[in-house]
């Protein structure tokens, strides 16, 4: 297998699996169409991540990334946690195979989303997502996925297109 | 830890008799060029003829209709491009299905860039092509129909004989990619009504890197590799003698042992399926009856295939997945999408392919690990939680 020992360790016995009940923040990223899905829930106390859990549908790398990012964020202040990047997660895992680097993008994205969700809730201005005409497919040709609205190639599974910002269908 | 190999569709282990035959040839000759005029050449020719006869017998062809190649992919490329080039003046329309192996679909993609027109026919939810669709798709300038015999991802066996009747009536060349099926189920090129058939040794206990293309007499076709006059002017270059010895022996053994092999594989498959029945939310892929005897494709809802495959590998169980991730592309298998699986389900697909040396006990052991793996990964999956 092309995975590092650290990746395999986290895949075999992932840390912080599950979903926190009544979490202070939720971050959901990805969609199963193009690969993986990840949900991170956090409990915050005194601006510090007291508890963090994840659920992931995805390949071995995606599961290891989830486990690693929760380990890295646990006990950190929100400010510190926001500094965790996809790159630092991949580095902590001893690297990822080239074709799996997109999996590492999910980890920090989900964490950051959970923190932003916490801030939004705290400030009481949880934003309503903008309404768009809904589509239920992702464009696909020659092994690549494309945004159904603006036709930009989707390199990373994400709930939104990075170019036009419109929500992507989850199925 | 005993290794359990359930990935015969990716390559079969060498049969002990095949291994012996190859070693014997290396010891006795090993380097003689069949194109040489001296005695070493004669020895090599005899070896070549013997192997050719065995391959021919396996598919009820004449020895002179067998061309040795470097394997299934070369055979398929030779068949498709060879006919397309030879018949270019007559027409440029080719018919195929949407579940073909990449060696077919990518060869056709190149031809499309060169100005050929390709009609890709759909399949039903079992992955079965409708012969009447082929009939409807035929045009005046149709030169070739290429449909696989058995699908390598879901095992479905296509109605090749019926398609062959149609192409024969219309005088159109018909190729079938029989790489996944040849040597595993009976094949008679005359009953199948095919003009060209591709096969590969390492799908039936021969070595990798060697295969053959059956070319019916008088089929218009150009060689893919040009040079000397080897292989009846159809494949230039000195033959891969050691590989061909292995292919010949594997063909002979497949022909003799086929009934008992098939029965054994069918028993293993039936046993595995009866166990699989116990797990919730499993979707079986492929035709329930018209399917390769040793192959089971199933999708496990709410989990991803690669993670299951690696976890089983950790426990010494080798299986295959058609997950998008494992193939290095982000795309789910085109075959699973063609039979109507949604993307998430297609991502959770595993492929178990049994072989002649597998046992019920191995299935028992693997199954315990499979159940444990699915439980473990579903526990992590957000999709499973949403379902509940």
Sign of CA dihedral A102, A106, A107, A113: positive
Phi-psi group of A124: left, alpha or beta (phi > 0 → left; psi -120 to 50 → alpha; rest → beta): left
Q: Per the domain annotation, does A35 fall within a domain?
A: yes
Looking at the DSSP bridge assignments, the partners of residue B285 are: B297
Residues of chain A in contact with residue B106, where contact means CB-CB under 8 angstroms, are: none
Q: Per the domain annotation, does A30 fall within a domain?
A: yes
Q: Per the domain annotation, does A128 fall within a domain?
A: no
Query: Among residues B197, B224, B254, which one ends one of the domains?
Result: B254
Domain that holds residue A102: 5-122
Residues B225 and B113 in one domain: yes
E-assigned strand segments in B201-315: 211-215, 282-285, 295-300
Q: Per the domain annotation, does A132 fall within a domain?
A: no
Query: Among residues B254, B272, B293, which one ends one of the domains?
Result: B254
Residues B294 and B196 in one domain: no
> Nearest-CA distance from A34 to chain B in Å?
5
Among the partner residues A11, A34, A57, nearest to B302 by beta-carbon distance: A57
CB B146 within 8 A of CB B177: yes
Residues of chain A in contact with residue B304, where contact means CB-CB under 8 angstroms, are: 36, 57-59, 62
Residues B119 and B218 in one domain: yes
For A40, the enclosing helix (H) or strand (E) is strand A37-45
Domain that holds residue B276: 4-11+258-387
User: Residue A40: which CATH number?
Assistant: 3.90.1010.10
Residues B73 and B29 in one domain: yes
The CA–CA distances, whole Å, from B308 to A23, B110, B318, B378 equal 29, 35, 11, 10
Residues B242 and B313 in one domain: no
pLDDT tens sequence across A140-163: 666 667 666 666 677 656 666 655
**Residue B325 is a catalytic residue:** yes
Residues B329 and B378 in one domain: yes
CB A38 within 8 A of CB A106: yes
ipTM: 0.81
Q: Per the domain annotation, does A107 fall within a domain?
A: yes
Q: Given this model, what pLDDT does residue A97 score?
A: 85
Residues B145 and B294 in one domain: no
Residues B152 and B178 in one domain: yes
Q: Given this model, what pLDDT does residue A161 score?
A: 63
Of B270, B358, B281, B291, nearest to B319 by C-alpha is: B358
Q: What is the pLDDT along chain B (388 residues), one digit of tens a residue?
A: 789 999 999 999 999 999 999 999 999 988 999 999 999 999 999 999 999 999 999 999 999 999 999 999 999 999 999 999 999 999 999 999 999 999 999 999 999 999 999 999 999 999 999 999 999 999 999 999 999 999 999 999 999 999 999 999 999 999 999 999 999 999 999 999 999 999 999 999 999 999 999 999 999 999 999 999 999 999 999 999 999 999 999 999 999 999 999 999 999 999 999 999 999 999 999 999 999 999 999 999 999 998 999 999 999 999 998 754 444 445 678 999 999 998 888 889 999 999 999 999 999 999 999 999 999 999 999 888 766 5
Q: How many structural domains are present in chain A?
A: 1
Q: Name residues of chain A where pLDDT drops below 70.
A: 1, 32-34, 125-144, 146-152, 155-171
Number of residues written out for chain A: 171
Looking at the DSSP bridge assignments, the partners of residue B351 are: B297, B320
Residues of chain A in contact with residue B306, where contact means CB-CB under 8 angstroms, are: 59-60
Q: Per the domain annotation, does A26 fall within a domain?
A: yes
Measured at the CA of A98, the angle between CA A107 and CA A14, to 5 degrees, comes to 40
Q: Given this model, what pLDDT does residue B326 score?
A: 43
Residues B278 and B250 in one domain: no
The CA–CA distances, whole Å, from B137 to B126, B145, B206 equal 21, 10, 37
User: Residue B159: which CATH number?
Assistant: 3.40.640.10
Q: How many structural domains are present in chain B?
A: 2
Q: Given this model, what pLDDT does residue B340 score?
A: 92
* Pairwise CA distance, residues A11 & A32, whole Å: 19
Q: Given this model, what pLDDT does residue B333 score?
A: 87
Q: Given this model, what pLDDT does residue A128 score?
A: 46
CB B134 within 8 A of CB B162: no
Residues B240 and B355 in one domain: no
User: Using the beta-carbon criterion (under 8 Å), do B380 and A63 form an inter-chain contact?
Assistant: yes
Residue A124 in contact with partner chain B when CB distance is under 8 A: no
Q: Per the domain annotation, does A60 fall within a domain?
A: yes
Of B165, B107, B136, B153, nearest to B298 by C-alpha is: B153
User: Using the beta-carbon criterion (under 8 Å), do B306 and A39 form an inter-chain contact?
Assistant: no
E-assigned strand segments in B302-348: 317-318, 320-321
A37 Cβ contact list (under 8 Å, min separation 6): A28, A29, A30, A31, A56, A57, A58, A157, A170, B382, B383
* Pairwise CA distance, residues B231 & B254, whole Å: 23
Number of residues written out for chain B: 388
pLDDT tens sequence across B38-75: 999 999 999 999 999 999 999 999 999 999 999 999 99
Residue A7 in contact with partner chain B when CB distance is under 8 A: no
Among the partner residues B306, B330, B383, nearest to A145 by beta-carbon distance: B330
* CA–centroid distance for A30 within its chain: 7
Residues B65 and B36 in one domain: yes
B290 Cβ contact list (under 8 Å, min separation 6): B126, B128, B156, B157
Query: Among residues B254, B273, B293, which one ends one of the domains?
Result: B254
Q: Given this model, what pLDDT does residue B30 score?
A: 82
Q: How many CA atoms lie within 13 A of B314 on its CB side?
A: 19
Residues B325 and B242 in one domain: no
């Amino acid at each position: 297998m092309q995975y590092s020992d650290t990746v395999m360790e986290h895949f075999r016995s992932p840390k912080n699996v599950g979903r926190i009940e009544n979490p202070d923040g939720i971050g959901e990223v990805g969609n199963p169409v193009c690969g993986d899905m990840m949900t991170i829930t956090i409990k915050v106390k005194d601006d510090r991540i007291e508890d963090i859990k994840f659920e992931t549908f995805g390949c071995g790398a995606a599961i290891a990334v989830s486990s690693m990012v929760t380990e890295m964020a646990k006990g950190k202040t929100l400010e510190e946690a926001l500094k965790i990047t996809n790159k630092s997660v991949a580095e902590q895992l001893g690297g990822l195979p080239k074709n799996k680097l997109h999996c590492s993008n999910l980890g920090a994205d989900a964490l950051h989303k959970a923190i932003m969700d916490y801030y939004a809730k705290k400030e009481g201005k949880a934003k309503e997502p903008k309404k768009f005409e809904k589509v239920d497919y992702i464009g696909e040709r020659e092994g690549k996925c494309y945004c159904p609205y603006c036709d930009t190639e989707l390199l990373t599974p994400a709930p939104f297109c990075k170019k036009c910002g419109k929500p992507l269908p989850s199925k | 830890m005993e290794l359990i190999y359930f990935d015969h569709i990716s390559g079969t282990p060498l049969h002990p008799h095949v291994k012996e035959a190859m070693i014997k040839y290396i010891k006795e000759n090993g380097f003689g060029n069949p194109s040489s005029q001296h005695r070493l050449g004669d020895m090599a020719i005899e070896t070549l003829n013997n192997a050719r006869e065995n391959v021919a017998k396996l598919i009820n062809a004449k020895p002179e209709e067998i061309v040795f190649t470097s394997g299934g992919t070369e055979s398929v490329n030779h068949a498709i491009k060879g006919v397309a080039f030879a018949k270019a003046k007559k027409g440029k329309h080719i018919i195929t299905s949407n579940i073909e192996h990449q060696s077919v679909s990518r060869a056709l993609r190149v031809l499309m860039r060169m100005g050929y027109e390709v009609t890709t026919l759909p399949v039903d939810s079992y992955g079965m092509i409708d012969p009447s669709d082929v009939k409807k798709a035929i045009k005046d300038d149709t030169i070739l129909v290429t449909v696989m015999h058995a699908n390598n991802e879901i095992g479905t066996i296509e109605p090749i004989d019926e398609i062959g009747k149609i192409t024969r009536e219309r005088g159109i060349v018909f190729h079938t990619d029989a790489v996944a099926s040849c040597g595993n189920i009976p094949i008679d090129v005359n009953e199948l009504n095919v003009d060209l058939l591709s096969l590969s040794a390492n799908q039936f206990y021969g070595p990798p890197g060697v295969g053959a293309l059956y070319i019916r007499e008088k089929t218009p076709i150009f060689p893919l590799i040009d040079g000397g006059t080897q292989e009846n002017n159809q494949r230039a270059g000195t033959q891969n003698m050691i590989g061909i010895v292995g292919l010949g022996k594997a063909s002979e053994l497949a022909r003799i042992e086929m009934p008992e092999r098939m029965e054994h594989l069918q028993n293993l498959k039936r046993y595995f399926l009866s166990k699989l029945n116990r797990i919730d939310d499993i979707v079986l892929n492929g035709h329930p009856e018209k399917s390769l005897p040793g192959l089971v494709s199933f999708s496990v809802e709410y989990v991803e295939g690669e993670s299951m495959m690696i976890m089983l590998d950790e426990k010494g169980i080798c299986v295959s997945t058609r997950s998008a991730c494992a193939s290095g592309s982000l795309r789910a298998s085109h075959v699973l999408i063609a039979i109507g699986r949604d993307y998430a389900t297609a991502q959770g697909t595993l492929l178990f392919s049994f072989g002649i040396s597998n046992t019920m006990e191995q299935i028992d052991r693997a199954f315990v690990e499979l159940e444990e793996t699915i439980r473990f990964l579903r526990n992590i999956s957000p999709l499973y939680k949403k379902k509940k």
